[in-house]
Chain A
Amino acid sequence: MSFQAIALALSAVSAVGQMEAGNRAKEAYDIRARNEELRGRVEAVNAKKKGVEALKRTNASLASIIAGSPKQGLGYAGTVLDRGVFLVGRPASEDVSDTMFNASMAIANSQMRADDFRRAGDQARLQGQIGAIGTLAGGFGQYGTVGSSGGLSQSGNLPA
């Protein structure tokens, strides 16, 4: 095997290596994307759990208002409702809406990050492919400049 052939083969091996490196980088990014999605869903569930907790507390508070109002001399109209609306209903509804928002945002955020990682993975694979093409092109170019006697004959090169 000639030295040119050896050099060319080594260039090809290098190109394959670069392609493989790009693929591996893409795989790594894909894994990170999936992790992000999972993390988003976990965060959303936790937010929802907080919402349930807020509702529970609302119920308990409202029950205590209803149960305790005669003894305390409060009139039915006005005051109790007021208490229920202003002291319980308003803050409770804020909490619930916050947790609902947090849950939906967790899903949306994680999806955005996962998409980002996936596209980065595509770019990494593209880099590998570009590098491989560059290496192969350089290798073939060098091969072409070296030249050899292959295909030439002593008599064939002389003028007729």
Chain B
Amino acid sequence: MAPTFRPYQSVGRGLNQLNLPEGAEAQEAQRTMTVLSRSMDQMSSFFFKRAEEQARIEGAKFGVENAPDVNTLKNAFKEGKDTSDLLEFGNTVFGQSARESALRVLQNEVMIEGTRTINDLVFTASSANTPPPTLQKQINASILGLSDAIKASSPELGEIIKSKLTMQGIGEFDRYRTAFAKGSVGTASATGRASVNEYLNALPATLTAILNTENITPELFKARLENVVKTGLIEFTTNGYAKTQLETKINEQDKIIEDWFLSQFTQEVFDRDISEESAYTPQILITQIQKGKYVGKDPQAKLIIDFMNLKEKGGVKVPTLNDLQKAIANNYTQKIALENQEINIGNKRLDEKKKEKVLILDNIFNKTDPLDDTDISDARIAIAKLQEFGFSDLADKYSETLEPLSVDNGFPPMSDGNAILEVETLIRTARINFGNLNRYRKLLSQADYNKYFDDTVTSLDQRTLQAIDDIKVAVGMDYKAIVYGDLKDDAKYEYRKAEEAERKLKRAILKSRREGTEVNPLVIVEDIIEEANFSISEDKRKDDLKKAIRSANSFIDGFKKMKDTSFTEDMIRGATDEDTVKNFKDLIEQWTEFTDFNQIPEIYRSPYMRELFNDDRNTWKENIERVIRKMEKGLPSG
């Protein structure tokens, strides 16, 4: 049987382990102390920093107030005293700051002192004409005197001052040296100077002479210019010019040549191109010049452009095409402005003259007494002047006022018998005019005078018509019956001259009528015709021949210059200029209808011909016909 005793069974639980505190309080307390100490550190460093700044400011102030001056240092250096502690203020923030500011003050003072010394030395040297090496030594010595005095107290400042003053000294010395060289090297004598000046004054004329040399080409022109430049150089050197002065003279020569190009080209272009009625418009001419093309007629201007288009200009300093263009444009503008100014001045003067004459007339007509002969004569002169100045309206107005006054005052009640006979004789023989009728005015009654006056007018009208016929004969055309628009070139010119002659004739008649002076249309027309120079004008043709031969020569030169050409000058050149012009005209007359450049015989396909062919403003036909016309004008048949 199983025992019933149940022994005690332990619950198996011993004493628990102790679960003691983690020490969180201690950890936090430690952290608290750390935070506290950090805060304290921050605050103390903040206040230290403030204190340091304060010390630095006070130190800087102290340094400025107690910085030794330059003279103290220089004297101490001279006397061999120890100056090493002059700029020592202790190894503290205050002391360091004081030293820094004292050094800055000292540096400024020394730089001012040094600059003043160098300037004084240069000034004295300039006044005494001291040689540059002597001045250089003086400058170096003064710099060393200052920098060495500082070195004992502050070696680094001594070096800084030395280098800064040395740089300044070098600059001043270099300027002095250059000025010295400029002022004292030249040894040209008075005679030499005069000779060089003479040469330079004559230079533009020399250049113009070269430009106008007959048959000159751009290459030849270049060679001549080169010679001129070389001659100049020889002239300068042989007359004692050297170094800087020589350079100045060479520059002067270059400038003269450059200016000559500008003025000469402008003058040529204005003489022939811009002032001619038939010339290209100035704008086209000016625009083309910038492109290196010359579209005008002047051979000299063309030569200048051709020369400027050469790649190699033989070392001659020439203006750019832009400069040329600008010079012409400026000149053109100036001329226009001048013309306008002249017109304005002319108008103003005319206005003043008009006022003067009007005053004279008003004074005469405002008289209460009857007009005497002097009054009438003065009035007539004043009216004639008004007419002359172009104030026809005023002249007419005063004539109308004067006429009744002068007549009424001068007529007797009855005509003198002899006077009537003489006047009628004059009328019959067509010699009557306002002048000789006027002589009989006081001998004729008003009615007779008026009658004879009308007869005089009729007689003079008839003679004026005859005079106009004389003009027609002289001009070679019945210009009254011709429509101006149908005429061409020179004929138009002649037409205008004929009309002008007729106007002059009529003005003379009118003047004599107003002034009561002698006039004979058939006589004065002779003078007018002579003055108008209607002549078929051999002189003009000769002028035209000159132009034509110049143009033909240019073409011939162009043909000659072509490479590998079989062209020879005698193919066109004749015994006289007229022959040459005729030959050239005959040649090109065949070419007007060409439509392809290659239709032109090969020996004549010069660059200028190509230019005429490819001209974008005019057709080939127009261009070649213009040349033909130019040739024709120079020929007796033209």
Interface residues of A (CB under 8 A from B): 29, 43, 47, 50, 53-54, 57-58, 60-61, 64-65, 67-68, 71-72, 83, 87-88, 91-92, 94-95, 98-99, 101-102, 105-106, 109-110, 112-113, 115-117, 119-124, 126-127, 130-131, 133-134, 137-138, 141-142, 145
Q: Which residues of B contact A67 (CB under 8 A)?
A: 4
Cα separation A116 to B26 with both chains bound (whole Å): 9
**Whole-angstrom distance from the CB of A72 to the nearest CB of chain B?**
7
Q: A105-B18, A109-B19, A116-B22 are in contact. Are A92 and B8 (CB under 8 A)?
A: yes
Instruction: Determine the interface band of chain B, counting residues with CB < 8 A from chain A.
Output: 35 or more
B25 engages A99 (CB within 8 Å):
no
Q: List 28 A-B contacts (CB under 8 A).
A: A47-B13, A54-B11, A68-B3, A99-B13, A106-B16, A109-B19, A110-B19, A112-B20, A112-B21, A113-B22, A116-B22, A116-B25, A117-B24, A117-B25, A119-B25, A119-B28, A120-B24, A120-B25, A121-B28, A122-B25, A123-B28, A123-B32, A124-B31, A130-B35, A131-B39, A133-B39, A134-B42, A141-B50
Query: Please, which residue of chain A has its CB at the minimum distance from the CB of B49?
Result: A145
Q: A68-B3, A123-B25, A138-B43 are in contact. Are A109 and B35 (CB under 8 A)?
A: no
Q: Which residues of A contact B39 (CB under 8 A)?
A: 130-131, 133-134, 137
**Is the CB of B27 closer than 8 A to any CB of chain A?**
yes
Cα separation A49 to B43 with both chains bound (whole Å): 60
Query: Please, which residue of chain A has its CB at the minimum distance from the CB of B43?
Result: A137
**Whole-angstrom distance from the CB of A147 to the nearest CB of chain B?**
12
A87 engages B15 (CB within 8 Å):
no
Q: Which residues of A contact B134 (CB under 8 A)?
A: none
Q: Which of A50, A87, A131, A134 contacts B8 (CB 8 A)?
A: A87
Cα separation A120 to B13 with both chains bound (whole Å): 34
Q: Which of B5, B16, B23, B32 contacts A68 (CB 8 A)?
A: B5
B28 engages A120 (CB within 8 Å):
yes
Interface residues of B (CB under 8 A from A): 1, 3-11, 13-16, 18-25, 27-29, 31-32, 35-36, 38-40, 42-43, 46-47, 50
Cα separation A72 to B432 with both chains bound (whole Å): 209
A116 engages B24 (CB within 8 Å):
yes
Q: Which residues of B contact A95 (CB under 8 A)?
A: 10-11, 13
Query: Please, which residue of chain A has its CB at the minimum distance from the CB of B38?
Result: A134
**Whole-angstrom distance from the CB of B13 to the nearest CB of chain A?**
5
Given contacts A134-B43, A145-B50, 4 further A-B contacts (CB under 8 A): A71-B4, A116-B21, A134-B35, A134-B40
Cα separation A92 to B12 with both chains bound (whole Å): 11
Q: Which of B8, B20, B32 contacts A126 (CB 8 A)?
A: B32
**Whole-angstrom distance from the CB of B11 to the nearest CB of chain A?**
5
**Whole-angstrom distance from the CB of A66 to the nearest CB of chain B?**
10
Q: Which residues of B contact A98 (CB under 8 A)?
A: 13-15
Cα separation A91 to B13 with both chains bound (whole Å): 12
Q: Which residues of A contact B15 (CB under 8 A)?
A: 98, 101-102, 105
